[in-house]
Structure formats: C-alpha cells, structure tokens
Amino acid sequence: MKLTRKTHHHYIGKVHDLTVSNTHSYNVEGLAVHNSAAGSLVSYLTNITSVDPIRWGLMFSRFLRKDAKDMPDIDFDVAAPMELKEELAKEWGSNCVVPISNWNTLQLRSLLKDISKFYDIPFQEVNQVTSKMLAEATPQAKRDHGITAGVYNPTFEELMKYSQSLRKFLDKYPQVKTHVKVLNGQIRSASRHAGGILCAENLNKIMPLIRSGGVLQTPWSEGQNVRHLEPLGFIKFDLLGLASLRMIDSAIQHILRRHKGVDNPTFEDVFRFYDEYLHPDKIDFNDQSVYENIFHKGKWIGVFQFTAQGAQNFCISAKPTTLMEISNITAIYRPGPLSISGDKLYLEAKRDPDEIDSEHPIVEEILKDTYGILVYQEQIAKLAHVLGENISEDDGNLLRKLLTKKGTGDKEKLKQDLKERFIRGCVKKGMSKKSAEGLFKRIEYFSGYGFNLAHSVSYSMLSFQCAWLCNYFCPEWSAAFLQKCTEQ
C-alpha cells in the first residue's frame, strides 16, 4: 500500500518523539507503531526523523531486523492532529481514512464503588477495600506467573484469591459480588482512539464499519485486535497531538514579531527559524547556560517532561550537563524504575562514580553513560551481544523480551540457551562464572524496567528545545505557555 500526499499542508510535527517540520509532499509506506523508529538509520536518511543514530549511539539496525515479520511502525506526534486527520480524509476520502475504536469496559474498582453506592454501603468502607486490594494481590499473582518486574494487573479471580480485604467485603455484601461477577470487564461504551486510524482504499467495502457520534470508525480497538489487521493487509497509523509542539510554534511566532520585524509570520518563516536555531543538527546540546538556568535552577515554565514536581526535584538533584543525562533522568523517572529506587541509585552513582563496581571493563564501557546502572533496553541487548558467545544484537534484544515473560516450551528452551551462551562468553572474556551469573541476574532483574534509548533521547531533544526557548526568549516562551493553558 502506498499513500501519496500531493498538496502542501503545513504543520509542525514530530516523528516518534522527535520534532520535525514538514512543508512538502510526503509518501507513507505501510506504517504503524514502533518505539525504535526515531533511532532508525533509514528513518534518518529519508528525513523522517532528525535524530542521527550514529552520533547518539543508537541501535539503528533494530528498527529493520532480518528476523522481523511485521511492518516497520512509526508514530507521528503533531501539533494539530485533528486538522491533519481532516486533511487526510479530505485528500483521500472519508471511506479511506477511518479512526479505530476504543471499547471502554467496566473496571472492578469503579464497579465496586458504583454498586456499593446503589446499596447504600458507606463510601469509607468500600474505599478501604479498593485502595488495598491491588497491593495485597499483585505480588503473589506476579510470583505465580514468574513475573519479576514490570506492571501486572491481577484478574478478578486472583484478587479474590489473594486480597483478604476484597474477600471479606464481598462475603459481607454478597449482593455486590453477584453483580460484580457478571459485569466486570463488560463493554461500557465505545469511543474513538486518540490517534489510531486506518488508511486504505474503500474501507467501507472491505471491512465492517460502525458509526459513533455520526463518525465512521472501525469496530477494532487499540491493542491485540489491531494486530490482527496487518495479516489481512490493513495498517494502523498513529497521529497523536503534543501541546509542546504548539507552544514551540507559538513561541517562534512571538519571537519573529518582537525581534525579527515579521508582522504576520507564515509557516515558512517559523520553519526557517526552527531550522536555523532548533533543528537537532544545529542546536548546541552542550550549551551549559541552558542546563544551569533551566535544569539546575528549576525555571521550568512548561518544559516538556518536567511539569511534574517529582521529575523537577529529581532533575535539580541530578544537575544534568548533557543531553544523555536528561535522557537518563526521564527514562528513570517512570513507575517501574522508581519502584526499585532507581532515582536514588542513579544519584548515588553520579555523586560517587568511583564506588561503581563494574564486573568487567566491557560492562563499564557499555554502562558509563548511566553510571553503571542498567537503564535502557539497548544496554541489555548490547551486553548480551558483546559479552555473550555468538549472540547477535537481535538475539540480545530477544533475550530482554524473554526475560520479562515466563517462557514455556520452546521459548523457555531458547531463554536457557541464550543464558548459557551469555555465561560462556563472559567466562571466555575473563569473568568468573560466579560474576557472570550475577551479571545475568542483574540483567534479568532490570529487563522489565528498561526504556527505549531512541525514544528517550529524542524526547529529551524536545525537552532541550523547550528549555532553549525558555532560556533565551523567556517572555515569548511564557506567552506561548499561557496561551496553551487557556486552550485546555
């Protein structure tokens, strides 16, 4: 399938977490969603992204692998997603550009509260149960499945089995249990996905369509069901909105009016400014005044990824001086790493790097940018590749995936084989078997928390662009931020 855009529609957008500006015709060849897209050498050379994967040490081969059976996937984040979707529908026809659905289901927590309210059960009583039940049941449910890291949502049966609070509550109020067992997980309503659309000729003739709010959409929803579309020849595109991109556009317009004498800036004017000062190949990511004034002193004013108090405090403590350190901070400030005190481990390692115990010079080299801490998926793949015996980078990434799930049958055998090859390779490179086994356990532990480096680096570029505007054009950036606030 090939979709060719013939007209010149203007928007500032970003391809998989990387700001790009587009004012020219473009072709779209079978795209969907993949976090590695911003690190792809093909994406960079074809000007889909502006992240140079070689300069930033990204695994540029991961996006297009020899063993890949699915289509390469790319998310588009743009300033005005609805406008872009309308233009696509206008260009190709409403039967050719169709949103996918969201099927909203009844969730146990809200069900318990709603049904209890119907039966006049005191809110405080039910709230005590809903606030405890996941914490009570999740650890044991994860152990049952052999899950050592990552997020897991227990089933109703597992919650009943392992949450004493929920069991007692439903024994006390059996009428609530009767309704919950029937309604839990049932579809509550249909809505449209924020970004997902299908693009193909005459979709109304080759697949069922439904109407919601007068708009045609597919009955398929985000997640597993959408993956069934690809074997049938359908491809899902994600066109998402990002407020920071609108702020950059607005700030540049203010700058052009106040400092460049441009009364009515066109998109071409905005694009030229962006290309001269903010493009990832032009902006100075080592500009220490930006780090000191914004990231050290906390003059955030709407800086992307640093609107939460916790992220701000962590950043001020870490005092980044490079783009990679901003990337580390944003990759660590997520629920998974925070749950194992990843932020504290990082701060301690950065303050006293001499205390870092690197089992081997190769390990030290691969983990030097994160002060000896495993943060990124690519680090896990690279450790397996460089240290292991005949383990390719793709095999290393496969190992990371296998470690996050409880394997059965062939998958368990493959995981065990990769483990043995890893340990043999480590021993051959001078590491003791005990140290090699310890390193593997460390990799296994952190594999569920690893973040995608290409994703993190490109997001951090956008954070730095916001900070650069805030540092050098604070009034204009502040005006753009206030304008965004009034739109919400």
Closest CA to 305 of 338, 284, 323, 329: 329
Pairing, β 27-29 against β 236-241? unpaired
pLDDT at 257 over 70: yes
List CB contacts of 377: < 8 A, sequence separation 6 or more: 397, 400, 450, 451, 452, 453
Amino acid at 384: A
Pairing, β 236-241 against β 187-199? antiparallel
Contact 320, 295 (CB under 8 A): yes
Report DSSP letters for 31-88, one per residue. Answer: ----TTGGG-HHHHHTTS----TTTTT--TTSSS-TT--SPP--EEEES-HHHHHHHH
The single-letter DSSP state of residue 397 is H
Asked which of 32-36, 43-47, 206-210, 391-395 is least confident by mean pLDDT, the reply is: 32-36
- Beta partners for 376? 451
Chain mean pLDDT for the chain: 84
The pLDDT of residue 477 is: 97
Contact 91, 6 (CB under 8 A): yes
- The alpha carbon dihedral of 106, 111, 117, 119 has a sign of positive
> Around 258, how many Cα atoms within 13 Å sit in the side-chain half-sphere?
12
Closest CA to 305 of 451, 194, 197, 152: 451
Mean pLDDT of 140-157: 80
The pLDDT of residue 24 is: 29
- The alpha carbon dihedral of 410, 411, 414, 416 has a sign of negative
pLDDT, tens digit, 9 for 90 and up, residues 411-463: 888 889 999 999 999 999 999 999 999 999 889 888 878 888 988 998 999 99
Closest CA to 157 of 137, 176, 139: 137
pLDDT at 395 over 80: yes
The pLDDT of residue 28 is: 27
Rounded to 5°, angle at Cα 74 from 69 and 79: 165
Q: Which residue has the tokens 């054009």?
A: 473
pLDDT at 225 over 80: no
Closest CA to 85 of 207, 229, 199, 172: 199
pLDDT bin (cut points 50, 70, 90) of residue 214 is confident
- Beta partners for 221? 101
Q: What are the C-alpha distances in Å from 255 to residues 250, 409, 458? A: 9, 61, 24
Helices (H), 184-275: 203-206, 224-227, 243-259, 267-273
List CB contacts of 111: < 8 A, sequence separation 6 or more: 179, 180, 183, 184
The pLDDT of residue 58 is: 86
Every domain of the chain and the residues it spans: 2-99+190-243, 107-185, 335-446
Q: What is the dihedral of CA 343, 346, 352, 358, to 10 degrees?
A: 150
Closest CA to 44 of 32, 52, 36, 34: 52
217: part of which helix (H) or strand (E)?
strand 215-217
The pLDDT of residue 70 is: 66
Query: How far apart (Å, rounded) are the C-alpha atoms in residues 443 and 459?
Result: 25
